[in-house]
A and B are shown apart, each in its own frame.
Chain A
Amino acid sequence: MTGKTISEKILSRKSGQDARAGDLVVCAVDCALGTDGSVPMALDYFAQMGGERLHDPARIVFALDHYVPPSSAKTAGLHQRMRAFAALHGVALHDVGEGIGHQLIVETGRALPGDLVVGADSHAVTYGALNSFATGIGSSDLAAIMITGQIWLRVPQSIRITLTGRLTAGVYAKDIALALAETLGADGAAYQALEFAGPGLQHLELEDRLVLSNLAVEMGAKNGIFPADAQTRAYLAGRTAQAFEAVDPDPDAAYSREIVLDLDALTPRIALPHLVDRVVPLQEAAQIPVQMVYLGTCTGGRLRDFHQARDVLKAGGGVAPGVQLVVTPASREVQDAMEADGTLADFVALGAEIVPPGCGSCCGTCGVIPGDGVNVVSTANRNFKGRMGNASASIFLASPASCAAAAVRGAITDPREITP
């Protein structure tokens, strides 16, 4: 018998069985997130299932992030319903303006190494950066977890992503993720785990790892998981008092495939409309005019992302005429940090529209909607037609620095061309 991958080990622990790729197991869930995009339906399922009380309210978290601020009586009503349920059952609820649920799960230390954490939103995969087995579910699965504390899962095979070398100036975590989407395709990791490994990890900060785990689902992956190291522990220090047991893969674990990516050789990438895996070297798309630049989301809305974008914008002399720059911090913690270190003031001085923390323009449910025919360059994770609320807009996905370079020139631009 060969050894186990990180995912096999965590699911073994959570199911109490010797879980191997392909097995179907019933697992105890450590934490489950629901958002205003998914909880209203979950509450309907909960009632239909005969739900009366929660298996363990401490393991459930609600976040109001998709409709921020609520711009209609209907969406305000969804929020009222969630607040009332949370108060009645003792569920922690992050209210409007606190941020994107995924970012809050990470910031509040609710996703720990070795845990099984799910979210009724596809980007729950983000917490894999912290060595959690983290995956997205629907509203009915969330309702069943609220009642039973359980989920059934098929133990995934794992693809090992070995990173070597170190990113060069002007190349970022988002470029790694886009390069992987280019290699694997939109379903290349379907039903499988991405397990990150290799000497390149030591140079990736936790915020970089969150980007890679976040985009795992855009390759069809069930989860995208990192080993835990000193950076993981440093991030969690002060965010949780709970003990945890990190999980490493066995040296003889079996993988379905191995991809080796040399970070030294990587150059900026961009995803063209309307598919996340339509990735090309950014230089091949250079000169395409851009009318809107979006900085935010659970992929690219953290402090480090805004620093990278701000530095390029300042070096390039500001925003080109005719470009709308929209900034949405992923959370209030991020916004407070931006305020404290002057980043927010820099963006205001650059003429950016600042939107309260939340999902913002990402999925068109709130925030700034692009106009007809507009080309948008975004730090987000999806560029489907209509994704931002206007089917005639075209969305390009790139790193925060590449987005900023597009804002500087009013056209897609290699950020390495703009130096201080």
Chain B
Amino acid sequence: MTALVLRGRARLFGDDVNTDYIISSTRKRESLDPQVLRQYLFEGIDPAFAASVVPGDLLVAGKNFGCGSAMEVAVTTVLGAGIPAVLARSFSRTYYRNAINNGLLPIVCDTARIGAGDWLAIDGANGMAVRNETTGETLLPEPLPPIMQAILAAGGLVPYIREHGRFVV
């Protein structure tokens, strides 16, 4: 994990983005495949988003990102679109867990001064510090507890359980 460096454009969303806005629960009736679902990503609140997303783009949101349903396609669809991290002022706890379990990096930081399209670089060697290359500002996120770091470092809950067979704190 320490070698991780992510660099991408900021794609802005507001407060209280619920999981149904990320991917409508009606879509998962027909497929659970992230490569199918990614074409409907944010379709209800930003119909142009799915076609415009570039692998490496970073989601940047306000408070309570991923509230509502605990459905995990709201994480796997984001990953399926090539988005490796979400930065938000706060997350709903189920989205946060699902993100960690699937290797989507959730970063809690003050996102207020990030603008649409700003270039951001996330430095795994420096506590996931977020450097806004467009404004020059660096944001220091809250550190992750060890078990979450361990699951993320393993690449998600699947490799973690394959390796340990149980939870180790």
- Listed in ascending order, the chain A residues whose CB lies under 8 Å from chain B are 24-26, 37-38, 40-41, 44-45, 48-50, 67, 72, 74-75, 120-122, 136-141, 143-144, 147-148, 150-152, 154, 186-187, 190-191, 220, 222, 275, 363-365, 382, 384-387, 389, 391
Docked pose: A296 CA to B28 CA in angstroms: 22
Is B153 part of the contact surface with A, judged by Cβ < 8 Å?
no
Docked pose: A48 CA to B24 CA in angstroms: 25
Given contact pairs A148-B165, A148-B167, A190-B92, A389 touches B71 in the complex (Cβ within 8 A): no
* Pairwise interchain contact A389-B26, C-beta atoms closer than 8 A: yes
Is B18 part of the contact surface with A, judged by Cβ < 8 Å?
yes
Query: B73: which A residues are within 8 A, CB to CB?
Result: 41
Query: A151: which B residues are within 8 A, CB to CB?
Result: 167
A-B contact pairs, 7 of them (CB 8 A): A37-B69, A38-B71, A138-B72, A144-B161, A144-B167, A386-B20, A391-B44
Is B136 part of the contact surface with A, judged by Cβ < 8 Å?
no
Contact of A141 among B21, B28, B64, B157 (CB under 8 A): B157
* Extra contacts besides A24-B169, A382-B68 (4): CB < 8 Å: A24-B146, A38-B70, A50-B161, A141-B98
Given contact pairs A38-B71, A186-B67, A365-B26, A138 touches B90 in the complex (Cβ within 8 A): no
Q: How far is the CB of A54 from chain B (nearest CB, A)?
A: 14
* Number of interface residues, chain B, beta carbon within 8 A: 46
Q: Among residues 1 to 36 in chain B, which have CB atoms less than 8 Å away from a CB atom of chain A? A: 16, 18, 20-21, 24-26, 28-32
Using CB atoms, name the residue of chain A closest to B98: A138
Query: B98: which A residues are within 8 A, CB to CB?
Result: 138, 140-141
Is B113 part of the contact surface with A, judged by Cβ < 8 Å?
no
* Pairwise interchain contact B24-A121, C-beta atoms closer than 8 A: no
Docked pose: A222 CA to B96 CA in angstroms: 12
* Pairwise interchain contact A122-B68, C-beta atoms closer than 8 A: yes
Q: How far is the CB of A4 from chain B (nearest CB, A)?
A: 20
* Pairwise interchain contact A41-B64, C-beta atoms closer than 8 A: no
Query: A25: which B residues are within 8 A, CB to CB?
Result: 169
Q: Among residues 65 to 106 in chain B, which have CB atoms less than 8 Å away from a CB atom of chain A? A: 67-73, 75-76, 90, 92-94, 97-98, 101-102
Q: How far is the CB of B55 from chain A (nearest CB, A)?
A: 23
Interface centre among A72, A143, A187, A387 (most CB of B within 10 A): A187
Interface centre among A37, A38, A138 (most CB of B within 10 A): A138
Given contact pairs A41-B72, A190-B92, A67 touches B32 in the complex (Cβ within 8 A): no
Is B51 part of the contact surface with A, judged by Cβ < 8 Å?
no
Contact of B158 among A48, A138, A220 (CB under 8 A): A48
Contact of A384 among B21, B145, B146, B162 (CB under 8 A): B21
